[in-house]
Chains A and B, each alone.
Chain A
Amino acid sequence: MSVPAKGTPRADAGQLPLPSAASARRRRRPSGEPPPLPRQLNKSGKFWLAVAGLAILFCALLVPSGGLTLRLDEIEGPVLSGLSALRLDPLTTFFRGLDAAIGPVVLVVWWGSLLVMLIWRRWRHLFVWIGTMWLVSNLTDVANQLIQRPRPLTVEIVGSWQGFAMPSRPVAVLTATAVNVLYALVPAGRARDRGKLIAAGVVGLVCAGRLYLAIDHPTDILAGVALGVAIPLAGWRLLVPNDVFPVTYRRGRAAHLDVTGHRGEAILRALHDQLGVVVTAVKPFGLEGSGGSTPLRMTVKSDPETYLFGKLYAITHLRSDRWYKLGRTLLYGRLEDEKPFNTVRRLVQYEDYVLRLMHSAGLPVPEPYGFVEITPEREYLLVTEFFADAQEVGEVDVDEALIDQGLQMVRQLWEAGLAHRDIKPANLLVRHGRLLLIDSAFAEIRPSPWRQAVDLGNMMLVLALRSDAQTVYDRARLQFSDSEIAEAFAATRGLTMPSQLRRMIREHGRDLHAEFTKLLPERLPPIRIQRWTVRRVGLLVGVVVLAVLASQLVVALLRSPL
């Protein structure tokens, strides 16, 4: 696959040609056909939601009528009387102990799970856990007060109890805890399937015990189980789908998605149908250099094999982007006040568009092939040319030719009204003596002059890493004025440099920034990056208030998940 020649005229931006060997017939997805990777509750989720709906309807029917609860008691009474006839002292002691253990067990499980979720930074799982437990707890509490169903009549109650009977709150909370443990801590697959059986066994035993002790009626327990399963299950399936947020104990960035299984198949199907590309393999590629997406190398069916590069974006990346921008706004203020994206589709559209702009401006960026939809509004795959056999600029000797190309890139960016905003060794590749620019995720159209100056400063620092400041400075003066270079180093310092660049400069043990500033005929005062605006102050106050509230919530949650 060749690097496109600079300034080559492009075809219609929406229909860039793919490598001929890879082409296949594109297929439009008819209305009603599910997308490649549908987002779904699954059959069991729908079943439990239906059961919960019925349970709520049933509870609602009981609210206005005390007579109806007595009718139910007449039906359920014989069951409980029959069980009470089987009572044996040791069995009663066992079930009393089991029932008394629900509260402490739920608390201990909560502490353990909280610890695991904190260690593995499963924030989303944690929020869903808290949210679903809160909902189950409050819903059953409100239903208890509304229905006010007494405990079983006619039969002797031999266990401890609290509150009204319908729905059984301890059973609902225990069941919800079991579901949450399974979906927050146990990896999907065989382990989770086995866990479901164990959880069902434990919940079943507790329910049997409560019936034996005549604490609950059978329908109280059924309603409690229905709510305890359905609410958390819907929460996990809809808000933390396993395909997007898999539970895994392998170390790695949370942003990276698993591209095997259903998602892997969906990617192949999407590329075939939407881009007409027959891809035979999809593998993660260069994960260590990427935190905002899942980079992929895709093998195209051809002879010889060729590759495409893909960036898989999901809702997690959208949230990362939001947090990143919030953090930058808090850190810098006005200079970084670009708005976050609302949807994954827009995030990918933007990157694709910027890449096309750079490409049409003649910048040596990978050829964009558009993007495909994996799950509507949740997952998209950006597809570009793959730079095979390329090395990072930090791994090769940088000569004057490469320096000129790097500086030329910045000049082209300026002239096209663009800023790359992430110029670092990992994003500058060298192949056959040609410098290539990748990753336009942070690029900005019509950026501030400060941002453009930072691009120049960072490019000069990167180029000087494997050469020297004097050579880079001398070559820069051929393309930029002294004042532009002075502005670049007045703008580029500290946090305005990508962290990889800062780290490599430290590792080289050189103060490259100081070396450059010594060479400047005029030194400009550092450009102030701290800008205070009403928005920034408001955000800071909001964050502090939220942090205080969150700390109080954490203290309360440590005492009880309810």
Chain B
Amino acid sequence: MRRPALLCWLLLLAFAGGCVNSGALAEDVGRLPNCTSQPGTVRRGVLIMAQAVPSAQWLPCIRTVPPGWSFDEIRPRDGEVSMLFSSDRDGMHALTVLLRPSCDLTGATEVPSEHPEMRRFERVTRVSDGYAGERHYTFDGGCVTYRFDLRGTTRAEPVAALSESLAFLSRQKLDQMVRQVSGDRLRLDSN
């Protein structure tokens, strides 16, 4: 009687304890919100982003995680979703990527965008002791913000590396992937 109970507790604890570092495990089990998916699957992180902001026509995703950086977690809720990244040189949660229906662009300056479907805005808030600032991409039904809070000595290098590592996936393409994988039994949205 005591043994099964003990085993159950051990199982629970092992599950809780062994999985605490969920960010580090993310890459191993394919839970990174990557821009590409393996055949027969759809990236769950990207799916939940689409559900969090149903109006957003573009969704942020990861091409590769730059060396020295790690993906921490996704924090989704209806109306907003954030992705957190940490760096071994620039600190914990040095980059937060936010997807919202709209952004507050007060004080931001528009600069040429590398994505033709989007407008890009920059706002720098700190250049001493690292770098802090926001980059916004606005598009139909949504806005993606890269919030930098870098504490390292180099600032241009990580910003550039991260910019290269992040990309966008269209809602339409994601819907196609869902339909394809489910044999048209599922759709991303209700209509």
Contact = CB atoms under 8 A, between A and B. Distances in A.
B186 A69 contact: no
Contact of A67 (B1, B8, B31, B181): B181
Given A77-B185, A142-B20, A135 B42 contact: no
A38 interface: yes
B68 interface: no
A471 interface: no
A148 B33 CA distance: 10
A224 to B, nearest CB: 15
B41 A70 contact: yes
Given A56-B15, A70-B182, A234-B9, A150 B44 contact: yes
A138 to B, nearest CB: 6
Interface string B162-181: 00000000000000001001
B76 A74 contact: no
Nearest to B14: A56
Contacts of B2: 39
Interface string A23-52: 000000000000000111100011001001
Q: Which secondary structure dominates chain A's binding surface? A: helix
Given A142-B19, A146-B29, A154 B77 contact: no
B15 A139 contact: yes
Given A66-B37, A67-B181, A142-B19, A52 B12 contact: yes
A73 B186 contact: yes
A291 interface: no
Contacts of B44: 66, 69, 148-150, 164
Interface string B93-114: 0000000000000000000000
A49 B77 contact: no
A41 B5 contact: yes
Given A66-B41, A153-B186, A234-B5, A145 B73 contact: yes
A146 B5 contact: no
B39 to A, nearest CB: 9
Interface stretch (A57-65, A196-204, A539-547): A57-65
A39 B9 CA distance: 16
A164 B40 CA distance: 21
Interface stretch (A155-163, A186-194, A249-257, A261-269): A155-163
Contact of B77 (A69, A143, A162, A238): A162
Interface string B1-40: 1101100110110011001101001000111000001001
Contacts of A311: none
Nearest to B185: A74
A142 B22 contact: yes
B31 A146 contact: yes
B4 A163 contact: no
Contacts of A230: 8
Nearest to B8: A49
A154 B22 contact: no
Nearest to A84: B190
B132 interface: no
A352 to B, nearest CB: 26
Given A49-B5, A66-B30, A151-B48, A163 B11 contact: no
A329 to B, nearest CB: 32
Contacts of A164: 44, 48, 76
B119 interface: no
Contacts of B48: 148, 150-151, 164
Given A63-B29, A148-B44, A151-B51, A156 B190 contact: yes
Contacts of A276: none
Contacts of A41: 1, 5
B169 to A, nearest CB: 14
A53 B15 CA distance: 11
Contacts of A114: none
A183 B65 CA distance: 48
A334 B144 CA distance: 66
Interface in B74-89: 74-78
Contacts of A49: 4-5, 8
A231 to B, nearest CB: 7
B187 interface: yes
Interface residues of A, number: 47
B76 A65 contact: no
Contact of A146 (B19, B76, B77): B19
A53 B45 contact: no
B136 interface: no
A223 to B, nearest CB: 12
Contacts of A146: 19, 22, 25, 29, 31
A6 B181 CA distance: 92
A135 B51 CA distance: 28
Nearest to A38: B1
B5 A163 contact: no
A154 B41 contact: no
Nearest to B181: A70
Contacts of B182: 70, 73-74
B53 to A, nearest CB: 12
A67 B40 contact: yes
Contacts of B19: 142-143, 146
Of A39, A40, A142, A230, most buried by chain B (CB within 10 Å of CB) is: A142
Contacts of B15: 56, 60, 139, 142-143
B159 interface: no
B145 to A, nearest CB: 19
Contacts of B77: 160-163
Q: Which of A52, A70, A231 has the most CB of B within 10 A?
A: A70
Contacts of A66: 30, 37, 41-44
Given A46-B4, A142-B19, A148-B44, 8 more contacts: A70-B181, A77-B186, A146-B29, A148-B45, A153-B178, A157-B51, A164-B44, A164-B76
Interface of A: 38-41, 45-46, 49, 52-53, 56, 60, 63-67, 69-70, 73-74, 77, 84, 135, 138-139, 142-143, 145-146, 148-151, 153-157, 160-164, 230-231, 234, 238
Interface of B: 1-2, 4-5, 8-9, 11-12, 15-16, 19-20, 22, 25, 29-31, 37, 40-45, 47-48, 51, 73-78, 178, 181-182, 185-191
7 contacts: A63-B29, A135-B16, A138-B16, A145-B74, A153-B178, A153-B188, A163-B75
The 4 closest A-B pairs by CB, nearest first: A156-B190, A66-B41, A162-B77, A150-B47
